[in-house]
Amino acid sequence: MEAFVKEIARSIYVKRLSDRRENGLVKVITGLRRAGKSYLLFKLYYDYLITSGVAEDHIIGIELDDERHEDLRDTKRLRSYIEEQIVDSAMYYLFIDEIQLVGRFEGLLNGLGRKPNLDIYVTGSNSRFLSTDILTEFRGRGDEVRVHPLSFGEYLSAYEGTEEEAWREYYTYGGLPLILSRESDELKATYLDTLLEKVYISDIVDRNNLRGPAVMDSLLNILASSVGSLTNPYKLANTFRSQGVGGVTDKTLSAYIDHLLDAFLINRAHRYDVKGKQYIASPHKYYFEDVGLRNARLNFRLQEENHIMENIIYNELRMRGFAVDVGVVDLWESVGGKQIKKRTEIDFVCNLGSRRYYIQSAFSIPDSEKMRQESRPLVAVSDSFKKIIVVKDPIKLWRSEDGVVVMGLREFLLDPDSLDR
């Protein structure tokens, strides 16, 4: 992050790293490029270690994307360099940025991880770190910390202006940290456009040996236009055909979606049958890791605040550590004297350990009918876990007769304990 941007504490991630300190595992910090992984490790966590009494010469920092460390991308040279820095039996802390630039890094980390006085932290920008092969190679020695773009609370802490102005900027331009250093709308839009074309899409095309960005561009446009809508590769292939683009199969699109997931550009929410207690294979919902990138993909058209709000709620829940699914609830209703089964949705079923919450995102609840509509699938769930409706406008938290909690979006986003109010 550039010096003229106010420092953002990102305390939730510093705590996640400190909780894993000296646990014998390789801490793998993953996430979208430009989301602040390097800043977290080399500035915030570094400062935490220094404050806690670690000597500077016992923190070994290597930024492999820096040309000054280009020779250390060789596995043997990197190992030798690290071992040369360890001159006593005290604990050392090893930070390696962009470890994927090193060939056969899995074996290297496994070997270094056996040193009793070396605590290892590495960063990477694709989910290859968490693939089956690498987890097997790590033999249970890898521990992921996923870093997301700024939450609204983090963004607001560094924003120079009112909360309302901050919200408008956030849902338009998203939470990549450097967006705060771009003062004009033009500079913000240009920054996001450049990242999409020159960093994210270019990286995906090169890494996966794709023949060109045309299909990926079209796929991103479709996904950006339908945030929070159910879809699958077969349905997407039909959309391509309807637009006059032939020869794009559902198999191809499935692979391209995997590439976007691998780069952390999008996230996939699975559907979960709440009453049947099982997952539904297809279709899924897709959300963008950063809403600014989603908006930039559409040239800042289609600014439907309700869909963007839903994406932001999803991202906030993920940032807080929840596994987030889309809930499916089948209800029976009488139509013309017959009982008809109707499939309804709960926007988010959130799980973290023994905790579970059911959450609806509702842009507004203007009347009792809308309240009934939003509450119905929640009330139909017979368990004792908390049911919550989040609405856009600031309101005083209240509970319905059915026990459903209604709270404002800002209250939800700015209070880390909001789900337990």
| pLDDT for res 5 | 63
Type of residue numbered 349: V
| pLDDT for res 212 | 79
Nearest to 8 by CA among 40, 32, 41, 48: 40
User: Per residue of the chain (421 residues), what is the pLDDT tens digit?
Assistant: 343 467 899 999 999 999 999 999 999 999 999 999 999 999 999 999 999 999 999 999 999 989 999 999 999 999 999 999 999 999 999 999 999 889 888 889 989 999 999 999 999 877 766 665 666 666 677 889 999 999 999 999 999 999 999 999 999 999 999 999 999 999 999 999 999 999 999 999 988 999 878 999 999 999 999 999 999 999 999 999 988 887 899 999 999 999 999 999 999 999 999 999 999 988 999 999 999 999 999 999 877 889 999 999 999 999 999 999 999 999 888 777 788 888 899 999 999 999 999 999 999 999 999 999 999 999 999 899 999 999 998 889 999 999 999 999 999 999 999 999 8
| pLDDT for res 100 | 86
Q: What backbone torsions phi and psi does residue 92 show, to the nearest 5 degrees?
A: -110, 150
State the residue for tokens 């929840």: 322
| pLDDT for res 211 | 80
The SS3 of residue 308 is helix
Distance of alpha carbon 209 from alpha carbon 207, whole angstroms: 6
Distance of alpha carbon 405 from alpha carbon 399, whole angstroms: 4
| pLDDT for res 1 | 38
| pLDDT for res 72 | 96
| pLDDT for res 4 | 47
| pLDDT for res 245 | 83
| pLDDT for res 238 | 92
The SS3 of residue 355 is strand
The SS3 of residue 233 is helix
Give the per-residue SS3 of 79-92.
HHHHHHHCCCCCCE
Distance of alpha carbon 376 from alpha carbon 346, whole angstroms: 9
Q: Is the bond leading into 233 cis (omega within 30 degrees of zero)?
A: no
Q: State the CATH architecture for 11-147.
A: 3-Layer(aba) Sandwich (3.40)
